[in-house]
Chain A
Amino acid sequence: MSFLEIRNVTKKFGSLVAVSGVSVTVAPGELRAVIGPNGAGKTTFFNMISGFFPPTSGDILLNGEFITRLPVPDRVARGMARTFQITEIFPELSVRENVRIAVEVAEGMSRHFWCGAAARARVDARVNEIVTQSELMPQAGRLVGELSHGDQRAAEIAMALSLKPKLLLLDEPTAGMGEQETHQVAGLIRRLHRNSGYTIMLVEHDMRVVFNLADRITVLDQGRMLADGTPAEIAANATVQAAYLGNAE
């Protein structure tokens, strides 16, 4: 059975075709990597899945339900969470407050004008759990905007996890990171996938990360899908070799 099904989606910006007739099927619990050179349409592809904008044509199904034009809050309610290529956080709030906001939304409290003692205790416990899990406890009281790039990333992922998502969309989670930080984030993603069973789709430029983590890989190039298969298949694919992997860094 497929968890996420993308049928023949196309996105045009004026005369530019950013994504062209791509179809991808993701199984529950799968870790899918999307790779491709700059401008291939990877982020555009993610934006359509997460509801940033609708596709020009084609359909997206989550758990068999058409979600092609569903507003973002409804997608989140169905278990979708994402992070961004350029980290998006609440810089002038503390790590704890960042996570708390996400937890309260997940608890359905975002329009509550009052938080009773029981609810507060429940939220506090969940916030602590997530902050601990993300290994951010030492920085919990600090403003997120003051943290290192890697810790900001971890905070953003922690917020996405607070939503108890079934599908996690990560756009270049290790972008701009050094060796150490890349290793740290890759480890976190591995644990989320292997131990906690999340279905994950990620865009990634670091090929070691991709080939270590992914169950399957989708290759995009100039908006088109070049290949789709297991890491071994992709590594052996001549077209991909020629178009992309051959001249990757």
Chain B
Amino acid sequence: MSGALARERPTTAIVIFALLLTAPFWLPYVGGYDALATRVLVFGLAAMGFNMLLGFTGVMSFGHAAYFGLGAYGAGLMLRYVTSSTMLAVVSGTLLGGLAGSLFGTLIVRRRGVYFAMVTIAFGQICYYIAYSWNSFTGGFDGLRGFSRQPIDLGFTSIDIQGNGTAFYYFVLLIFALAAAAMGLILRSPFGRTLLAIRENERRARFLGIPIERHIWMSFSISCFFTALAGALYALLNNFADPLGLHYTLSGEIVIMTVMGGMRAFWGPLIGAAVFVVLEDTISSMTVNWMSFVGIIFILVVLFFPRGLLGMLKRRDAA
């Protein structure tokens, strides 16, 4: 009806959710397992959050690992030192990463292009360095251990997401679905359209009276919150928070997933994350140089399907 997302046909979402809902049943037949599917959801969420900024606002960050990592440490530290509530840990991690992004965002929204990307890297590396050096609190280079996700207490019953990997997968899927719905609603709203306007033509957007800096800041902050949420879930998945989760190599991987899957397509980053995670899982058992394979595939996709894997599928059935 309206909004560029209207061209996104609902069949894509239906197919994706049908696959995700049934994943624990068919995965074993293709050599997959629950934790792998959970990783896909986690990185898919991180990349979709990132893509609010890159794909739908047209602003590049090379430092989204910072918010992912802060989300992970936030959740891990809460479980380790403060609470046994898994939900509270998730909320805390999300707030830590999201608020850090919002604060940092106020300082950088006037930067554009390469300068913006550079300062985002710098901030990520600062976070990495802190987590790396603060041995007593964060576990330093070895990462933060000594916590584990706790059963979800619903009052009348409690769900064991620790011992039961399938239950945990569905727990993450539920959160993923809610987050995706929230992102979809934001992008279809009048505010979301101002982001598309900024992406399409910043000058035109400015002279329509849109306060560009404020809207980029809002998009950046929202994007950080979703990526931090993914990071918090990642800490739960591994019962571990890793300083490498803050490192710029992960930021680069998030960019790769997003661009490979298709940054103009709402579900593109999820597809990119799935391809990336599955490649990592299969190739890394054969060679330590698995990243060069991913690199080659990435280059091929960018050269031959500049709109990403999902973009290519759409183009084909439109033709």
Of the candidates A72, A81, A90, the one having the most CB atoms from chain B within 10 angstroms of its own CB is A90
Asked if B185 is an interface residue, CB under 8 A from chain A, the answer is: yes
B211 neighbours in A (Cβ, 8 Å): 71, 73
Q: Which residue of A lies closest to B189 (CB)?
A: A113
What's the dominant secondary structure at chain B's contact region?
helix
Q: Per a CB cutoff under 8 Å, which of B4, B190, B207 touches A81?
A: B207
Q: Per a CB cutoff under 8 Å, which of B2, B4, B191, B207 touches A111?
A: B191
**Do B196 and A90 touch (CB < 8 A)?**
yes
B200 neighbours in A (Cβ, 8 Å): 89-93
Residues 201-230 of chain B: 1 if any A CB is under 8 Å from the residue's CB, otherwise 0? 101111111110001001000000000000
**Do B189 and A101 touch (CB < 8 A)?**
no
Given A73-B211, A97-B3; A110-B201 close (CB under 8 Å): no
Asked if B92 is an interface residue, CB under 8 A from chain A, the answer is: no
Residues 256-277 of chain B: 1 if any A CB is under 8 Å from the residue's CB, otherwise 0? 0000000000000000000000
Assembly CA distance A120 to B16 (angstroms)? 29
A104 neighbours in B (Cβ, 8 Å): 190, 193-194
Q: Which residue of A lies closest to B192 (CB)?
A: A113
Assembly CA distance A89 to B215 (angstroms)? 18
Q: Per a CB cutoff under 8 Å, which of B186, B194, B203, B206 touches A101?
A: B194
Assembly CA distance A84 to B207 (angstroms)? 10
Q: How large is the interface on A (under 10, 10 to 19, 20 to 34, 35 or more residues)?
A: 35 or more
Asked if A205 is an interface residue, CB under 8 A from chain B, the answer is: no
Q: Per a CB cutoff under 8 Å, which of B189, B201, B218 touches A91?
A: B201
Asked if B197 is an interface residue, CB under 8 A from chain A, the answer is: yes
**Do A77 and B201 touch (CB < 8 A)?**
no
Asked if A114 is an interface residue, CB under 8 A from chain B, the answer is: yes
A93 neighbours in B (Cβ, 8 Å): 4, 196-197, 200
**Do B2 and A82 touch (CB < 8 A)?**
no
B204 neighbours in A (Cβ, 8 Å): 84, 88-90, 156, 159
In the assembled complex, the CB of A39 is this many whole angstroms from the nearest CB of chain B, namely 21
A100 neighbours in B (Cβ, 8 Å): 2, 193
Assembly CA distance A88 to B206 (angstroms)? 11
A174 neighbours in B (Cβ, 8 Å): none
Given A91-B200, A97-B2, A110-B194; A102-B208 close (CB under 8 Å): yes
Residues 66-96 of chain A: 1 if any B CB is under 8 Å from the residue's CB, otherwise 0? 0000011101110001101000111111001
**Do B197 and A90 touch (CB < 8 A)?**
yes
Q: Can you report 30 A-B residue pairs in the complex whose CB atoms are below 8 A from each other?
A: A73-B211, A76-B208, A84-B204, A90-B196, A90-B197, A90-B201, A90-B205, A91-B200, A93-B200, A97-B193, A101-B196, A101-B197, A104-B190, A104-B194, A110-B190, A110-B191, A110-B194, A110-B209, A111-B191, A111-B218, A112-B190, A112-B191, A113-B185, A113-B191, A114-B189, A115-B189, A124-B2, A156-B204, A159-B208, A163-B208
B interface with A by C-beta (< 8 Å):
2-4, 185-186, 189-191, 193-194, 196-197, 200-201, 203-211, 215, 218
- A-B contact sample (16 more), CB < 8 A, given A112-B189, A114-B185, A163-B209: A81-B207, A82-B207, A84-B203, A84-B204, A84-B207, A88-B207, A90-B197, A90-B201, A91-B201, A93-B197, A97-B3, A100-B2, A104-B193, A113-B189, A115-B190, A159-B208
